[in-house]
Structure 1
Amino acid sequence: MSRPPSPSPTRFPDRTSFEAFVAQGYNQVPVVRRLPLGALRPVDLLRALPAEGRFLLESTRVSAEGRYSFLGAKPFLRFTAKEGQCFIDGALQQGAPLEVLRSLLRRWRGVRHPGMPLFCGGAVGFFGYEAAHSFESLPRHPRDDLHLPEISLSFIDTFLTVDHHEGQLLAVATGSDWEDCEHRLDALEAHVRAATPTAPPAPPAMDGPSAAYRSNFTQEAYLDAVERVREYIRAGDTYQVNLSQRLEVAFPGEPLALYETLSAINPVHFASYLEGDGFHVVSASPERLVRVENGRATTRPIAGTRRRGTPEEEARFVHELRTNEKERAEHAMLVDLERNDLGRVCTYGSVEVTRLMDIVEYAHVLHIESEVVGQLAPGVEPLDVVGALFPGGTITGVPKLRTMQVITELEPHARGLYTGSLGYLSFTGDLDLNIVIRTLVVKDGRAYAQVGGGIVHDSQPRQEYKETLNKARSQLLALASVERQG
């Protein structure tokens, strides 16, 4: 990939080029400074920033896919929505949340310099699972005890980008006023100079103690719910339902320390840390909902899992994943769902499966993963793409809407952030959103981890219950480790 053009090795563009972009109608033009990174990690940089709406979108599993991490603080605007109402900087707005958000996104027109990463400033945050009510007519869950926003987006025009491949740090300010961008970059550079490098925490042993928890399901109630799902499947209502339970742990510790430990245990492409209004999000998600780059949309469904093991065990697990008819049929069904969802916003005939049932290795599990791509139709906007795919089929089921009704009936509480999507919508119209799994929400001295599994006709209830607890292992280990460290 070519380096961005600049009159010097440390900053770009020059003022003349910046003002030329503004004259063309762009009002979010990035001004970029290259700064020394040294031994600083993204978390070190985050700690040096003001604790005002800080965020970190980090690729802790560095690869061709995970080249960049983004972090910042002090958003210039905050948008939240809940139960049909929406707020800008806490002020109630008139209109439906999606229409207000759509008009907000249309205010800004960004430019991406050659060689720059996809995020060039924009909205960072999440669409919680219940944000689906903004896109579709669905029954609401009567019990929402965490009271999280359904949509929470912070608009960012000043941030840091870590290029893990080049070992570079980029300070970025976007806008249409050169002097204002330079002023914000001066302040950001001062924070970087104050950052202190630290060593990452060692991951705790996987056979170490886990945090004590309580679930919103008793074991018997979960087993009964699995049987209810199987009844719905036999009746033809659905083919697969992702049924989840929520684990709750006392946690008086620091959320950022929890994020560091969880990332050490489970390095992934879509790790994230968000500071909300009275809550924190600590995530180690491996799964992408959708990415849009220059009008090309990509989604990567993950379905089918085995644990890591010895080389001999893993060879057997890979063979099982490749030959198990049940798992392959479930995965194929979900790929077909994603193709149909993407087809709602893409040019006819452009949607194709570019990878089918690859076995992908992660720190503690093996997954079956596919890739579906398509060219967006003219006039399609970022929220249209989100609405077409949200929430992801791999964490709801098939058919999606009827299955979501079953989930609302059987699960004890509203899901909140779990199985929603987190990431960014860039000022350029590009976007990248994950699926919120392997995630902890910290609120009022408690940490919440939700875990689920896909229930099909021949699922074994006790095995499914055990599998959900296995998926919580990394979160519970991280909680126990941070608690021991004090």
Structure 2
Amino acid sequence: MFLMIDNYDSFVYNLARYVQELGEEIVVIRNDKITIEEIFHLNPKGIIISPGPKTPKEAGISLEVIDKFKGIKPILGVCLGFQCIGDYFGAKVKKGIYPIHGKLSKTTHNQVGIFKGIKSPINVTRYHSLIVDKIDLPEELTITATSDDGVIMGLQHRYYDIYGVQFHPEAALTEEGHNLLKNFIDICKKDLEPTVMDITIEEFQSYLNPCEIYSVFSKEKNTIFLDSSKEDKELSRFSFIGVNPYKIYKTKGNKIYIDDKCYYGDPFLELEKLIKSMILDNQYGNMDLPLLCGCIGYFSYDIGRIIEVIEDTSEKDFDSYDSYFVFYDNIIIFDLINDKKYVTALGQSKDRKEAIAEIKEKILGAKGIKEEFQEKDQNTFYSNFTKEAYIDTIKKVKEYIANGDVYITNLTQRFWCYNNKEGFQLYKDLRSINKAPFASYLNLDDIQVISSSPERFIKIENNILETRPIKGTRPRGRNKEDDEKNRLELINSEKDKAELLMVTDLERNDLSKVCKVNTVNVQGLFKLEEYSTVFHLVSTITGELMDNVSAVKAMRECFPGGSITGTPKIRSMEIIEELEKVRRNLYTGAIGYFDLRGNCDFNIVIRTIIKKDNKAYFGVGGGITIESDEEMEYEETLDKAKALMKVL
């Protein structure tokens, strides 16, 4: 279905009839009778902005449609719609030398995009008094057609699927009008037919554990290890290794990089389109392995600026991508509960059987790793806060709470140090002293990520969505008596339970955006979990995903996690931006995978080191409530930092 925004013109249904004659359904709605939310709900293949009277500023919702759907849906602007495109991107719309109405012009075009396969020149019918000025035309707009009197007749955006024509393709005497519209329809449909991916899956035997097997591939760029090092039947049954990338998807702001191509769009929606362009052969749909093929990577916390408009005031102390996902030809799968190992092959870069044989041969040459860590000399760590400044900032958060801005806000301090140790060695050291159910090591082009996260953000399997926020922390004791004392203190802490309850209700809210009515439930509340250096309180919330809501869409609606922002979420994010001084970057984002069958599993990026060149960065923080003790909150950040500081 296509949508036409009717700018109160008298030729709209001529244009709509052309679309219908080309075999497509079209809905025509006037420019003041529909909202952006309703357009999202309609989910059209493409949007046509019609001709009409007056100026772009008087074209109802037309300019907002361009703003909200650029990079998301293909857009065609006709006459006034064409002028709206020019106006939105910064071109000057002005009166022409003379009005032209109902007259033909010979028009030369570039024979690409909506003019593909159409002879040049063509005769077109014009109905306009205003024109888009050639002078100072924005660089992102390309002139695609010009009339014999030198007026712009066609524009195309350099990065988005946005096209415009000043003339009327539906007019009785315009040549090739049907073919022009057919080209636009084809552009809208080009990504709708997915490629069916065949796959080979082989089980193999090895006495080595997942970390030992990953060591064979650890020096290869863009390999990723999702490591359930703290084995748990409920939480961490599987580990995965991605090798032999065939496609890499990276974003910075609205700039999208796919391999060597660059364009603009919404990073979540473009990733969703890319994933939807591939489907797995049906015979593998019910396999009891949650990831067979797809992509593994991360969303940084900072990508939340795409979802919510947060004023950019904090410093960016190092540069990396906002999201980074690798599509793998081969994935090594470890079923830790049943002690089974598999390798998959898609055949995108190499014959499937040949690729599997090479991987198995490499694994045969792997050696065992002794998991022992010897602490080196003390390093020097630098923070973006002094102790006094951090405590003062906690007091500012409490002022916001007292004034009614928020109920709880998560505050973080950023540490960094110099470190020349190889990234995977850091990961092995961290793994040996702080096993975690959602650990990972990412060896990417620009950074290495060393994570021992205990927290699941979102898991989707068989259409059931689960999230497990953590709130409340106490250090492990020096002996059993200390341990028991700290355990009981956390279990009985009304402050910590209130903190977790607030975040649990926030996550129930977020899941309700994407889950069916009457399916969102709290499965566990105030459960105590123990790790090598700390105790945590955890809750579990589940829901059944709505029909036609993808895993990427669910991620976008719930991102970032409530446990690392606060509630209300958006106001908390604004306070974080104001008070934390430096951008969080990947810290408190999410690392995990999307499977082509709709499954996903992502952690919250905490207890994580980001290594770039000879520097290592990590964040630690906690939820601030009106009951927070400033000294205790500061000490809690140091408790959480212990394992990371130890390996650095």
- Please point out which of 232, 239, 246 is paired with 1:69: 239
1:142: Cα distance to partner? 4.2
Sequence identity, in percent? Answer: 34
The more displaced of 191-200 and 213-222 is: 191-200
Is contact 2:243–2:329 with CA below 8 Å preserved after alignment? no
User: In 2, distance between residues paired with 1:239 and 1:171?
Assistant: 47
- Please point out which of 234, 257, 265 is paired with 1:95: 265
Q: Secondary structure at the match of 2:616?
A: strand
The more displaced of 134-143 and 84-93 is: 134-143
Give the aligned residue type for 1:278: D
Deviation per CA, 1:233-288: give whole Å up to 9, x if none.
Answer: 11100111111111111111111010001011111111100012221000000000
User: In 2, distance between residues paired with 1:460 and 1:197?
Assistant: 46
The aligned counterpart of 2:432 is 264
1:355: Cα distance to partner? 0.9
Give the aligned residue type for 1:95: G
Is contact 2:411–2:576 with CA below 8 Å preserved after alignment? yes
Would the alpha carbon gap of residues 401 and 312 (structure 1) be closer, same or farther in structure 2, given more than 3 Å must change? same
The aligned counterpart of 2:600 is 431
1:96-135 matches, within 5 Å, as: 96-110=266-280, 112=284, 114-135=286-307
User: In 2, distance between residues paired with 1:269 and 1:255?
Assistant: 20
User: In 1, distance between residues paired with 2:453 and 2:320?
Assistant: 19
- Please point out which of 315, 321, 324 is paired with 2:493: 324
The aligned counterpart of 1:463 is 632
Is contact 1:209–1:477 with CA below 8 Å preserved after alignment? no
| 1:394 lines up with 2:563 in the alignment | yes
| 1:153 lines up with 2:322 in the alignment | no
- Please point out which of 361, 365, 372 is paired with 1:190: 361
Q: Secondary structure at the match of 2:245?
A: coil
User: In 2, distance between residues paired with 1:338 and 1:211?
Assistant: 38
CA RMSD across the alignment: 2.1
Deviation per CA, 1:97-121: give whole Å up to 9, x if none.
Answer: 2332121011111254655321111
User: In 2, distance between residues paired with 1:401 and 1:130?
Assistant: 13
Is contact 1:37–1:167 with CA below 8 Å preserved after alignment? no
Would the alpha carbon gap of residues 199 and 115 (structure 1) be closer, same or farther in structure 2, given more than 3 Å must change? farther
The aligned counterpart of 1:348 is 517
The aligned counterpart of 2:409 is 241
Is contact 2:333–2:341 with CA below 8 Å preserved after alignment? yes
User: In 1, distance between residues paired with 2:443 and 2:385?
Assistant: 28
User: In 2, distance between residues paired with 1:254 and 1:326?
Assistant: 41
TM-score by length of 1: 0.88
Give the aligned residue type for 1:163: D
Deviation per CA, 1:284-321: give whole Å up to 9, x if none.
Answer: 00000010001110011111111222333333333322
Is contact 2:495–2:627 with CA below 8 Å preserved after alignment? no
The aligned counterpart of 2:383 is 215
Q: Secondary structure at the match of 1:61?
A: coil
Give the aligned residue type for 1:109: I
- Please point out which of 378, 387, 394 is paired with 1:226: 394
> What are the ranges of 5 or more consecutive residues in structure 2 without an aligned counterpart?
1-193
Is contact 1:98–1:134 with CA below 8 Å preserved after alignment? no
1:401-480 matches, within 5 Å, as: 401-479=570-648
Is contact 1:29–1:176 with CA below 8 Å preserved after alignment? no
Would the alpha carbon gap of residues 199 and 167 (structure 1) be closer, same or farther in structure 2, given more than 3 Å must change? farther
Give the aligned residue type for 1:236: G
TM-score by length of 2: 0.67
The aligned counterpart of 1:301 is 469
The aligned counterpart of 2:168 is none
Would the alpha carbon gap of residues 235 and 280 (structure 1) be closer, same or farther in structure 2, given more than 3 Å must change? same
Figure out how many residues of one structure are paired with residues of the other and give that number: 451
1:275-314 matches, within 5 Å, as: 275-309=443-477, 310-314=479-483
1:386: Cα distance to partner? 0.5
Give the aligned residue type for 2:392: D
Is contact 2:343–2:356 with CA below 8 Å preserved after alignment? yes
The aligned counterpart of 1:14 is none
Would the alpha carbon gap of residues 150 and 79 (structure 1) be closer, same or farther in structure 2, given more than 3 Å must change? same
User: In 2, distance between residues paired with 1:422 and 1:467?
Assistant: 24
Q: Secondary structure at the match of 2:213?
A: helix
Of structures 1 and 2, the larger Rg is shown by 2
1:212: Cα distance to partner? 1.9
1:157: Cα distance to partner? 2.6
The more displaced of 265-274 and 70-79 is: 70-79
User: In 2, distance between residues paired with 1:270 and 1:293?
Assistant: 16
